[in-house]
Amino acid sequence: MSKPVVGVSASTLLVNGQYQTQAAGSRYLEAITEVAGAQSMIIPALPHCVDLNEIMSICDGFVFTGGRANVHPDEYGHAETEAHGDFDRGRDGVVLPLIRACIDAGQPVLGVCRGFQEFNVAMGGTLHPEIRDLPGRMNHRMPPDGTIEEKFAHRHMVHLNEGSPFIPLFGADEVLVNSLHGQGIEEAGPRVSVEGHAPDGTPEALVIKDAPGFAMAVQWHPEYNAANDPVSKPLFEAFGQALMAWKKGIAHAAE
């Protein structure tokens, strides 16, 4: 049987401040290939170029990536402020309905950083515009200086809830992760189960309640060094197993 195909959410990127392109980080593509054992395909943040039914029929699952632009607060009923930063409304228009459709269908989905936040918004939740401004919270943003290795270095523990489905996956109820985000969950959506928190209480891991398929998301960046990191590797391996199960189920249904 051929490899599963994974749609990878792109973000809009301006080259030289003028030419619009669609981009997805290479680390995601490498993690999907090397650890999940799948073939990746970039999904543009252009609603007029994306037919949800068509891409769901082509792809066996989706990874919703991190991105510098944030989900627009209109999507969760908040007023726009300077603290909300930059936006990518095209990406909002593609990924939010796609997440809902995949969860309903049981198609495997994995959210990372902005993707974690997108899961919550798609399921009716809200976001804080800037975590570090909240009393008692640490600065979760990417360190401004240093090498790429230093920026993606482990920075804090995540404590997982008792009985969380992440515990058998990681083999532990606490894991060490990196941290490169400014926004975070304010109120969880009705079907969002927050399964892990940073030491300052910031939500860091979630699953979708009663989802018929793999529907997990993390606030950190497991795509970095995914083939070697003891937390990242089992996450992408589990996603790969879910992809193959979906693919076999579709093939069996077609026989």
**CATH number where 204 lies:** 3.40.50.880
**Percent of the residues in the chain that have a pLDDT greater than 70, as a whole number:** 98
Q: Helix 26-34 to helix 232-254 angle, to the nearest 10 degrees? A: 70
Task: Report whether pLDDT(255) > 60.
Answer: no
Residue 33 burial (C-beta neighbours within 10 Å; 0-12, 13-18, 19+):
middle
> Can you give the residue range of the structural domain that contains 196?
5-254
Q: State the DSSP string of 169-235.
A: HHTSSEEEE----S-EESS--TTEEEEEE-TTS-EEEEEETT-SS-EEEESS-TTTTTTT-TTHHHH
- Quick one: pLDDT at residue 245? 96
Strand stretches in 52-168, DSSP E: 61-64, 109-112, 127-128, 156-160
What is the band of 134 on the pLDDT scale with cuts at 50, 70, 90?
A: confident
What is the band of 249 on the pLDDT scale with cuts at 50, 70, 90?
A: confident
Partner residues linked to 23 by β-bridges = 11
How far apart, in whole angstroms, are the C-alpha atoms of residue 35 and residue 152? Answer: 19
How far apart, in whole angstroms, are the C-alpha atoms of residue 83 and residue 182? Answer: 10
- Quick one: pLDDT at residue 231? 97
Task: Report whether pLDDT(54) > 60.
Answer: yes
- Quick one: pLDDT at residue 187? 97
> What is the count of structural domains for the chain?
1
Task: Report whether pLDDT(252) > 60.
Answer: no
Mean pLDDT of the chain: 94
How far apart, in whole angstroms, are the C-alpha atoms of residue 151 and residue 116? Answer: 20
Q: How far is CA 225 from the centre of its chain?
A: 16
How far apart, in whole angstroms, are the C-alpha atoms of residue 166 and residue 236? Answer: 12
Average pLDDT over residues 202-222: 97
- Quick one: pLDDT at residue 5? 98
